[in-house]
Amino acid sequence: MIHRYMQSPKELERILKGCGNHRRVEILCLLQKKPRLTLGEIADALKINFRIASEHIRRMSAGGLMHKRYRGRAVEHALTPRAKHILIFLGKLE
């Protein structure tokens, strides 16, 4: 049963999808170490295709796990407090 202070089941699903992939977990860990990376920097660091990285970032943003900061033509990505809580939780699972 979901308590009244928690998100709706639909919102919880969106959050879980935001971190429910090994690449997304890698992105979370990367941004924890190096905040404010661009999409290209994330793709390069993880050695993945730019479009694949973009799709992962989109899903993470939909789950409320990413902040985007626009600097001229570049978009920097950083973790939200929700993403930081998820990383703490994941650390406890290990």
pLDDT tens for 26-82 read 999 999 999 999 999 999 999 999 999 999 999 999 999 999 999 999 999 999 999
In whole angstroms, give the CA distance from residue 47 to residue 61. Answer: 21
Task: Please report the domains of the chain, with CATH numbers, ordered by start residue.
Answer: 9-93 (1.10.10.10)
**Other CB atoms closer than 10 Å to residue 24's CB: what's the count?**
20
Mean pLDDT of 4-10: 75
Burial of 25 (0-12, 13-18, 19+ CB in 10 A): middle
pTM over 0.85: yes
